[in-house]
A and B are shown apart, each in its own frame.
Chain A
Amino acid sequence: MHPQSARESCSFFLARLSAEVARLRAQPFPGHHIGPRKWLNFIQGIVDSGQAHLEESGKPGLSTNDSVHLIAEAERLGGAAYRFMQHVAGADASQIPHQIVAPFQRIVERLGINSTIFFRSEHLPNYELGTYASGKAFKTFKYATPSLIKAHDAIDWPMLIVTVPGHAMGMLPHFAVVGHELGHAIEDKIKATLDFSSKNAEIAQCKTDLHARFKTAGVPIDTAAQVKLKSITSSWFNEIIADAIGYWLGGPAFFFALCGFIQLSTKSYGIGQTHPPTDLRRQLLLQQMSSGASSFVDVFKNQTGLQIAEDTNSPGIPKCPPSDQLFAELVSKFPALDAVICTQQIEYLKVVGPLIYDSGRQYMEANCPELIYTPERLESDLTNHLDALCKLIPPIETLDVNGATPASLSTILNVGWAALLTRLDKLTAPAGKSGDATASKMERLHELLLKATELSEARRLWEEMK
């Protein structure tokens, strides 16, 4: 073995990584957000540690095997740094509207999310929350550098990275989906409060039906099946918890944003190991929006004339067929084990879904009641802002018994959705623009809502400074 050439090659790789980290550090991040910088410092620490392993590998007296082993570790560290760096792409100020960062950071803190977080965009039809929890393991390297230790300790783990779609799908009202991703960040806290005891009989029936499906499909319930069952169930729970938090934060805006986004991005059932079918999620959301004496659906109808239905802005989302047909469709493409679990857990989620929403609300009532968006708030917001927005007056502040207060992001998003769905014809078109008039109006609406977000945040900061 000749370690020298491998060492030199790795050294060049690590030097290039350092240069790339330096370039990324020099760029501005929206809202002076420190999350990306902390992540970059961590990456630089990993690169430095890789370099330290490399230097050790060249020391005299070391056996060739030990030298090769250290080079391999340096290469693995460089590889990890390279992969981690891709998460910073799209986090700079040219990709993320700077206006949204501070309001989202405010929601993050009030929800009790203590992790270091940042936002980034990607040219993919995808919203997601990335988590990285294993940072501490990097400190166990024999030649972990002080820069790595310091960068690690500056991060509140797990590191969270919220990805949103890039420009074309980045219309402000759609950002209500971010509430779902923030819900993922507190899913374990909600799970700790789940109580399904009121539905024991229905759950027992679900279990019976599940076992029957296993039997008829000829799939053994062994450890592998149990791992898959718990894993899928856990993932599906997480999605409903995240939907619940998105809903309690954003009300109808979340419903429209989630359904509208999925309508644009896929025509599938949405069912799989990680997600329950989209039409089930949509049903659960509408169920919540329709409940209560004066529900969101009632208020929206009274204020705008639009009766919200399941497919109001998502007619293209296909409905899952009945369970036997769904199973036949799934098993033709996926392993029978997956098909059994995905088919049967739909009924289970129909039973426990509303209880998960209740737990989400209870968490927010206990920790951040001011963030819960209510039908009363919607009524006030639409009364005060919808017509004004059509006259190009952005919703910057709201009037209530306490006087004028800066508009919340939820207010801005809901007024935006109401305008988008019911008042676009009344919105003044920008003068002198050629091309699609509707698209121009939507672009104008987007700009007005961004302006509202920026000015309401400025007002909030000003009040905090007083």
Chain B
Amino acid sequence: MSMQIAPYKDPGLWSVLENGVAVLKGEEMEDGHRALVLECLVSIFSEADRGASVVAGQNLLVMSGDTAAIEQFSLFFDYLAGPLGDDLPARLNEGHALLKGMAAGQVAAPELRVRTREMLEALLGQLQKAAQLEPLVPMREFSY
């Protein structure tokens, strides 16, 4: 069992994505906090990027870490497959490289920052939508 809560209910994920948008916009942030946000984002994109490769692979062998990678890819696939379509794996790969570079102190190309930021904003928008569309918990019935 995974105790992970639904993405749109996960305050940690919201925080990482919202802070990630701020980092990509170049907003002021304390260095340690910025580094932590980038570390979390790199972890998410790294797993999702690998998940895209696992999913595209034609073999049936499932290797170490694949479950987490597929779950992370599914986060993006479930919410962004519509808007990004077949570009999704390439965009994940691009975002992963950009964030990894930024975490290592490299200066990122502005247009790449914008593309990745838009991806995060799109994901946040979809999470917002999912939260708005979540039905209320149905009444429990105990009649047997």
Q: Which residues of A contact B (CB under 8 A)?
A: 46, 73, 76-77, 79-80, 83-84, 87, 128-142, 159, 161, 163, 187-189, 191-192, 194, 196, 203, 206-207, 210, 223-224, 226-227, 230-231, 233-235, 237-238, 348
Contacts and interface: CB of A to CB of B under 8 A. Distances in A.
Interface string B59-73: 011111111101101
A231 B16 contact: no
B63 A194 contact: yes
B1 interface: yes
Contacts of A237: 62
Interface residues of B, number: 39
Contacts of A142: 15, 19, 33
B56 A138 contact: no
Interface stretch (B5-13, B90-98, B100-108, B135-143): B5-13
A137 B3 contact: no
B2 A140 contact: no
A137 B62 contact: no
Given A192-B64, A223-B81, A134 B74 contact: no
Given A227-B73, A233-B60, A73 B14 contact: yes
Interface string B39-79: 11000000000000011110011111111101101100100
Given A192-B63, A223-B86, 15 more contacts: A76-B11, A79-B9, A130-B3, A131-B1, A131-B4, A133-B4, A134-B10, A137-B15, A140-B19, A161-B3, A187-B67, A194-B63, A196-B61, A231-B71, A234-B66
B36 interface: yes
A77 B5 CA distance: 12
B37 interface: yes
Interface centre among A163, A188, A192, A235 (most CB of B within 10 A): A188
Contacts of B3: 84, 87, 130-132, 159, 161
Contacts of A207: 60
Contacts of B5: 80, 83
A76 B10 CA distance: 8
A238 B40 contact: no
Contact of A138 (B12, B57, B65): B12
Contacts of A187: 67
Given A80-B5, A223-B55, A226-B55, A140 B33 contact: yes
29 contacts: A77-B11, A80-B9, A80-B11, A83-B9, A128-B1, A132-B4, A136-B36, A137-B13, A137-B16, A137-B40, A138-B15, A140-B12, A141-B11, A142-B15, A142-B19, A159-B3, A163-B1, A188-B64, A191-B62, A192-B64, A194-B61, A223-B55, A226-B55, A227-B73, A227-B77, A231-B67, A233-B60, A234-B66, A237-B62
A194 B9 CA distance: 35
Contact of A227 (B15, B19, B67, B74): B74
Interface of B: 1-5, 9-16, 19, 33, 36-37, 39-40, 54-57, 60-68, 70-71, 73-74, 77, 81, 86
A188 B65 CA distance: 6
The dominant DSSP class at the A interface is: helix
Nearest to A348: B60
A83 to B, nearest CB: 6
Contacts of A159: 3
B12 A134 contact: yes
Contact of A230 (B11, B37, B39, B70): B70
